[in-house]
Structure 1
C-alpha cells in the first residue's frame, strides 16, 4: 500500500513538472490569426505582444487578451498554444451602418446625435450604447422629462452590418408644481418667485421651458437671489440649500430654497486703499457714488469697482485688481474699503465660442467688452458672463479660462447651449376704464441671431383696436445705444362704464415712432424719440358739443421728445426703498399741422418698515401742454385724470366738461399726488394677499380756445379746484394674474364730476 502511494506521488510530481515546463519553457514557432475581416493582422500582432521566438506563458497570454479587449475592436478573443503554434481567434463586432431614433418628438434627431458615442461607420460597442442611453436620458431630464424610457435595438443587416435604433418613449413633461422658500422674513414667497428664473408649471406656460427642473438653472437662481438680497441691504445673505424633490409618480418636482437673509445693513465709512504710486486717491473718490447711511448695495459696489478699473486703465494702469473689502459689520452698519493693487500682466489669447448655432459670435463677444490681445481682466469676464445670462438666449453658459504655452496668455473658451427666444403670448385682462381686453403678441428676442428684438401684435377691446410692430437694436453702431422703431395703427372710441358719461367721438391713428436710448450714468438714462402720426377724429354732430365738432378732422403730428429717468430705488423688480424721478418733453411742429409743446414730471418714493412688511409709497406727477403758433391743443392730446390716476373718479371724470352734453374735454395742465400704505392682512402667506389704504388728490384744468371758435367759455366748466379721495384696496397675486381691487370715496369733488367708487384691474400673459 505504501509502495503504491509512493508511485502515485512520483507520477503526479512528474506530470506537474512537465506541465510547468511546457507552460513556461516552450517557445512560439508560429502565430496564426483568424476571424478578422476589417482589422489588419499587423494591428492585432502589435497589440498581442507575442513574437515568433518568444517564450510562451499563461501570464503573457492573459496580458495579450487584456490588450486586445482594451482596443474595443473585438467582441470575443480566444488564444490557444499547441506544439509551438499560437492560435489567435477573434470575433469582430458588427459594422454600424446607421444610427436612428424612434418616438422622439420633443428633441430633434440632430440634437440627440451630438450626444452619442455610437456613430455610423464605426464598430458596434455595447458599452458605448449603454453610455448613449444614459446620455439621452440626461438630455431629456434637462428638458424636464424624467419618466423617459429608452430601449436600444440592434437590427442585423447583410454583410456583417447592423442598424442601431434608440426606441424612445418620451413620457409627459415633469414640471415644477411648487416653489417654496424657507427663512424669508422680509420678502414673501410670491415676491421671490419673480426673482428666480425657474417658474411653477401652469397650463399657459406650454411654450416655455423654465417650468421644468434643471440643476444649472437652480444654481443660477441661487445667484439671482444673492444678487437681489445683496442689492437691498442684506450683505450676509446666503442660500443654505436648494432641494428638488421628485414625486413618487415622477410627475412633478417641488423646489425648496432654504435661505438665510441675515441682518440688513447701511453703508458706514467708505474708503480707498490705493497701493499704486502716482495715483491721486481723491480723484478716485469722485467715482464713488454711494454715501454713508445709504442702504447697502453690493451691485453698486461692483459697478464702482468697474469704473475705477476703467478709469485707471485709461491712465496707463491696464492691469490692476480692484475689489470692495467689506468689514466691521456692527449695529446695522458695514464699512467698505476699495482695495486697488497691481497684478501680473496677462493677455487674452484666443476666444473660442462653441454651441451657438444661431447666435452670431459678435453678439456674444460684445457682452464681454474684451477681445483677443486685450489685457486679462477677471471682473470683465464675470460681468460678461452675467450679461450673457441676462440676455436669456442660452440654456447653459460655461466659461473656461485655459493657460497657454505662453505664460502671459490665457485662452477663453465659452460653451453655450441655445434656447428658444421666440414666444407667442395671449393676454386677457379687465379694468374699469376700458372694460375687458385681449392681446395676441409675438416676440423674438434674438432675431436671426443678431440680438435684435422684434415685437408684433394685435389688441382689441370693447372700444378699441390696435395693431403694432417694432424692432429694437440694443447695440446700435456697436455702442451702448439702443435704437428702436415701432409702427402702429389704432382705433378707439370712449364710452361709459359704471355710470361714466359717454365720450362721443372716435379716434383713428396710424404712425411711426423711433427712439434712441443710452445711459448717462449708472442710474441716469436718457431717451430721445421722434413721432410721426396721422389722426382722424370723428363725432356725430347732432349729439356732440360745438367744441368737439370744431376738433374733428384729419391732422398730422410730427414730434421730437426726450425723457430723463433717475432711478435710486433699491430694486427695479420689487421696490421697497428709494425713489425714481422721470421728466419728459415733447415738441410737435417739426412738420405736420399739429403743433404743441408738452412737459411732464413724474416721481415715486418708497419706504419700508417692520422688516418690509409695511411699505409706504408716495407718488406725484404733473404736466403742461400748450399750443404753438396759435394752434389749439386737440382733445386727443389733452390730459385726463380718473380711474387709477385719481381713484374715486371715472376716467376723464374730473376737469373741463361741456355743460350741455356733459362731455369731458380734457385739460392742458394737471397734477396728481398719491400716498399709499401696503400691509399684510394676516392671512396665510401662501395666499399672497395684501391690503392697502390710500389717498389721492389732483386736478386737471385749462382749455384754450381757438380765436375763431364759436365756443364760449361760459359753455363749459373749468377750474383748478383740488379733488381728493380716500379708500382701501386688496392686491391678490394669484397663480394666473395679479388682481387689484380698490374702493374709493371722493371726499372733495364738484357736482359735475363723474364719480366711480369701484376699480378693478388685472392682466395675465399666457
Structure 2
C-alpha cells in the first residue's frame, strides 16, 4: 500500500509539470504566429494605366510640351519606377523649380512650379572692376529663365576674374529679389577683399645666377612702395606657371640644357596678408657647342653648301634658339635651290667630359604635303592681306610646319589680336593641309599722355594719339603734340610696313617745331617733311634711304644782343634744305649669338643740294658694344660716335646746320656748352662745329639695395672733341676753340626704374676742359608715360 501511495503521489506530481509545458509550447506557437503575421508582406509591383493628363502650375511652358517631356504616352501602363523617371526628366529640363506626379485612377496629375524669368541683372559691391566687364562674363541674361546652377557658375566666374586680379579673398554671392508675374532680379553681391601681394620672391638651388638677376626675368615682382602704380607684385596663380616657363627659357638660352624647375611653392606669411614665392630649381651644367656638321641624305644635295650657311661655331654657348635659327637658314637655302620638302633634323650628341654638345644637321626629304589653302576667320576690321603677308607660304607651296609656327608668331607680334591661333589640319586629300587662322581682334588705338624733363628743354608734356592698324590695313598713323618750357613740336607720322605688298617699310613724318632756349641767344622755327624707306638686307642688317625737306629760320630773342656770327646767320632769314640720305645699320644686340652681348653699328651719308638754299655733305657714324658680366649683374658699355660736314654752298653755313653737342651726346656740359664760341660784342655764343667725335665708357650695377626699389648705380667716362668752323662768316667775330681740344669727364649716376619711366641722375666733373666751356655738374633726365 505504501508503495502504491508513493507511486500515486509521484503521478500526481507530474500533472502540473505537463500542464506548464503545454502552456509554454502554446505560448511559443502563439508568439510565433503573431510575429509572422506582423512581418511586412512582399510588395506587390504596382502599375498604373495612364489614359489622360492634368497639368497644373504652368504659365510659360505649354501643357503639351510638359506631357511630351515626361516621356509617358496616353494609354501606356507605367510602374512606380517609370513615374520616377518621368519626374526626373521634368526636373532635369531646368525650367521647373518643383515637380510633383500623382496618379488619380487613369489620370496622371502633373503639378509644376516654373523657375522665374530674370527681369534684370545687377552687380553690387564692386569698386575695382566695372559692371560691364563682369556682366560680359556671366551666362545669365535678362528675359531668360533663372536657374540656380547657372547663377552659381556665374558667381564662380566673377570670383575667377577677381582672382586673376590678385584678390584671393573676393567672394561673390548670387541673390534673387522676387517680382510680380514670376520674375526675379538677379543680384551678384561682391565682397572684393584686398589684393594679396608677393612679399618675397626667392630661389633655392641657383648658383650661376643670383636671386636678384633671376627676379628680373620673372613677371611676378616683389612688393614695393610704388605698388599703387605697379601691380606686378600682386599674386596671380596663372602668372606663376608663366614664370616657370620664362625662367626655364632663360637658363636654356644660356646653355643649361638640364635645367628644371622642381617646384614653385606659394605660402602665406604668418600674418596671412601676403605670399612668399619660393622656386626650387636644378641648374645642371653649362654646355657649349662642340662639333657642328651637316650631312645630306638627299641625292644631289651638297651638304657643304648648307654647312656654309650656318653661323654658329664651336665654343659658342649652346642655345635651342640658335639651333632653330640654323635649321631655318638651311631650309631657306633649300627653297632658293628648289629642293622641295627639305627637312633638317638636328641630332645632338652629349660630351659630358668637356661639357659640349655636338650637333649634326641631317638633310632629309619630308612627306610630300602641300598647302591647299589658308583660311582666316575672326577678323572683322583687319584685311585678310595684312594677315596673309605674315606667311612666306602661299597656296600650292610645300607644307613646312616650322614656317607655319614662325608665321603664327609674327601674327601675334602685330599686336592687333587678343587671340591668334594658327593650326594646320588635313585637307581634301591626305597629301594636302588647310591652315586655319582664327583671330580675335582687340583695340589698336591709343591715347597717351607723357611728361618729360631735361636740362636743355625743361619740363614738358607730350600728348599722342595713334592707331597702329589704320582702317585694318596694318598701317600706323600718329599725331604728337610735345610742349616744354623751351621747345614745342607738332608732328604727324605715318608708317606702311609693307609698301607695294613687299617687305619694304615706308615712314613719313611732317610737322613744325620751335625753340626758345635759355642756352642760346636766338630762337628757331622750322617746318619739316621726312619720308624714308627701310628694308632688310641681312638677318641683322638693314638699309635706309631717306629724303628730308626743311624750312628753318633763326630769330633774335627779345632784348638779346648777338655776337657777330649769330647776327649774320639771323640776317640770312628763312633757308630751305633739301637732302637725300642713306644709312646702313647692323644690330646684333637682340638677335645675335650671345644673349648677353651685342653690337650696334650705323653709318650714314646725307647730301643737300637737290634744290633748296643749303648745299653740303654730312656723314655720321656710331658704334656701340655692350656686354653683361658677373652673373649678368653688371653691364659694360662702350660707344664711339662721330660726324663730319663739308659745306659746298656759295654762302655761309649756319649754327643750325653744323653739329652742336648736348648732354645726350657728351655729359658734363650744358647744351652747346663746349666747342667753338664767339665772344664778340660782349656775348658768349656757341656756334657749333663741322667735325666732332665722342667716346663713352660706362657701366651700371646693383647698389645692394632691395631690388623692389628699382635703383642701380653707374659710372661713366666721356671724352671727345668738337671743332672746325670753315665756311662760317667770322667777320667781326672773336672766335675761340676753333681748333678744338679733347675734353674728359668723369661721373657717377643713379638709375631709377619707376612705373612712370626711367629716371637718370648724372653727377659729373670735367677732368679737362677749356676756360670758355660751360660745365654742368648735374643732369636729370625723365621720360615718363602715364
Q: Give the TM-score range, shorter chain.
A: 0.7 to 0.9
Residue 691 of structure 1 deviates from its aligned partner by 4.0
- The yes-or-no answer on 1:453 pairing with 2:476 is yes
Report the Cα distance in structure 2 between the residues aligned to 1:222 and 1:579, rounded to whole angstroms.
30
Conservation of the 8 A alpha-carbon contact between 1:175 and 1:201: no
Question: Quick check: 103-112 or 269-278, which moved more?
Answer: 103-112
- The yes-or-no answer on 1:555 pairing with 2:587 is no
Conservation of the 8 A alpha-carbon contact between 2:119 and 2:143: yes
For the residue of structure 2 that corresponds to 1:531, the secondary structure is strand
Cα deviation code 1:523-563 (max 9, x no counterpart)? 10222222222211013697212211221221122222222
When residues 715 and 95 of structure 1 are mapped into structure 2, their CA distance, relative to the original with a 3 A threshold, is closer
Conservation of the 8 A alpha-carbon contact between 1:302 and 1:323: no
Runs of 5+ unmatched residues, structure 2: 1-26
When residues 288 and 211 of structure 1 are mapped into structure 2, their CA distance, relative to the original with a 3 A threshold, is same
When residues 2 and 695 of structure 1 are mapped into structure 2, their CA distance, relative to the original with a 3 A threshold, is closer
For the residue of structure 2 that corresponds to 1:518, the secondary structure is strand
For the residue of structure 2 that corresponds to 1:28, the secondary structure is strand
Picking from 652, 659, 668, the partner of 1:639 is: 659
When residues 367 and 531 of structure 1 are mapped into structure 2, their CA distance, relative to the original with a 3 A threshold, is same
- The yes-or-no answer on 1:280 pairing with 2:302 is yes
Residue 665 of structure 1 deviates from its aligned partner by 1.1
Report the Cα distance in structure 2 between the residues aligned to 1:110 and 1:678, rounded to whole angstroms.
46
Picking from 438, 442, 455, the partner of 1:414 is: 438
Residue 602 of structure 1 deviates from its aligned partner by 0.3
Picking from 446, 450, 454, the partner of 1:426 is: 450
Residue 449 of structure 1 deviates from its aligned partner by 4.8
For the residue of structure 1 that corresponds to 2:643, the secondary structure is strand
For the residue of structure 2 that corresponds to 1:16, the secondary structure is coil
Normalised to the residue count of structure 1, the TM-score between the two structures is 0.83
Question: Quick check: 364-373 or 659-668, which moved more?
Answer: 364-373
Q: How do residues 3-82 of structure 1 correspond to structure 2 at under 5 angstroms? A: 4-5=30-31, 8=34, 11-12=37-38, 16-17=41-42, 20-23=43-46, 26=47, 28-35=49-56, 36-39=58-61, 43-51=65-73, 55-81=77-103
Residue 625 of structure 1 deviates from its aligned partner by 1.2
When residues 396 and 440 of structure 1 are mapped into structure 2, their CA distance, relative to the original with a 3 A threshold, is same
- The yes-or-no answer on 1:131 pairing with 2:153 is yes
When residues 484 and 749 of structure 1 are mapped into structure 2, their CA distance, relative to the original with a 3 A threshold, is same
When residues 402 and 245 of structure 1 are mapped into structure 2, their CA distance, relative to the original with a 3 A threshold, is farther
Match of 1:532 in 2: 549
Conservation of the 8 A alpha-carbon contact between 2:564 and 2:733: no
Residue 635 of structure 1 deviates from its aligned partner by 0.7
Match of 1:662 in 2: 684
Cα deviation code 1:111-158 (max 9, x no counterpart)? 655544334554332211211222233234445655655443444455
Residue 600 of structure 1 deviates from its aligned partner by 0.6
Match of 1:470 in 2: 493
- The yes-or-no answer on 1:599 pairing with 2:619 is yes
For the residue of structure 1 that corresponds to 2:511, the secondary structure is strand
Match of 1:544 in 2: 562
Q: How do residues 48-447 of structure 1 correspond to structure 2 at under 5 angstroms? A: 48-51=70-73, 55-81=77-103, 83=105, 85-96=107-118, 112=134, 115-120=137-142, 122-142=144-164, 148-160=170-182, 162-167=183-188, 169=190, 171=192, 174=195, 180=201, 182=203, 219-220=241-242, 223-227=245-249, 230-231=252-253, 265-313=287-335, 315-322=337-344, 324-328=346-350, 331=354, 333-346=356-369, 362-369=385-392, 376-395=399-418, 407=430, 408-409=432-433, 412=436, 414=438, 416=440, 418=442, 422-431=446-455, 433-447=456-470
Alpha-carbon RMSD: 4.3
Question: Quick check: 474-483 or 657-666, which moved more?
Answer: 474-483
When residues 94 and 643 of structure 1 are mapped into structure 2, their CA distance, relative to the original with a 3 A threshold, is closer
- The yes-or-no answer on 1:676 pairing with 2:698 is yes
Conservation of the 8 A alpha-carbon contact between 1:143 and 1:214: yes
Report the Cα distance in structure 2 between the residues aligned to 1:289 and 1:538, rounded to whole angstroms.
55
Residue 705 of structure 1 deviates from its aligned partner by 2.4
Match of 1:512 in 2: 529
Q: How do residues 480-495 of structure 1 correspond to structure 2 at under 5 angstroms? A: 480-495=503-518
Cα deviation code 1:549-594 (max 9, x no counterpart)? 221221122222222211123579x974232111122222233222
Conservation of the 8 A alpha-carbon contact between 1:401 and 1:412: yes
Report the Cα distance in structure 2 between the residues aligned to 1:654 and 1:257, rounded to whole angstroms.
52
Question: Quick check: 329-338 or 201-210, which moved more?
Answer: 201-210
- The yes-or-no answer on 1:761 pairing with 2:775 is no
Residue 326 of structure 1 deviates from its aligned partner by 4.6
Report the Cα distance in structure 2 between the residues aligned to 1:252 and 1:429, rounded to whole angstroms.
37
Cα deviation code 1:268-293 (max 9, x no counterpart)? 32222433333222222233223334
When residues 456 and 237 of structure 1 are mapped into structure 2, their CA distance, relative to the original with a 3 A threshold, is farther
Match of 1:589 in 2: 609
Report the Cα distance in structure 2 between the residues aligned to 1:101 and 1:602, rounded to whole angstroms.
59
Report the Cα distance in structure 1 between the residues aligned to 2:375 and 2:180, rounded to whole angstroms.
43
When residues 733 and 104 of structure 1 are mapped into structure 2, their CA distance, relative to the original with a 3 A threshold, is closer
For the residue of structure 1 that corresponds to 2:449, the secondary structure is strand
Conservation of the 8 A alpha-carbon contact between 1:473 and 1:482: yes
Cα deviation code 1:614-656 (max 9, x no counterpart)? 4432211111112234353321121123535333443323322
Question: Quick check: 49-58 or 659-668, which moved more?
Answer: 49-58
Report the Cα distance in structure 2 between the residues aligned to 1:581 and 1:628, rounded to whole angstroms.
28
For the residue of structure 1 that corresponds to 2:650, the secondary structure is coil
When residues 197 and 63 of structure 1 are mapped into structure 2, their CA distance, relative to the original with a 3 A threshold, is same
Normalised to the residue count of structure 2, the TM-score between the two structures is 0.81
Matched residue count: 751
Question: Quick check: 272-281 or 600-609, which moved more?
Answer: 272-281
Question: Quick check: 139-148 or 563-572, which moved more?
Answer: 139-148
Cα deviation code 1:67-120 (max 9, x no counterpart)? 333332432222334545544433333344655656778767776555443345
Report the Cα distance in structure 1 between the residues aligned to 2:359 and 2:535, rounded to whole angstroms.
30
Conservation of the 8 A alpha-carbon contact between 1:657 and 1:663: yes
Report the Cα distance in structure 2 between the residues aligned to 1:514 and 1:134, rounded to whole angstroms.
54
Report the Cα distance in structure 2 between the residues aligned to 1:651 and 1:263, rounded to whole angstroms.
51
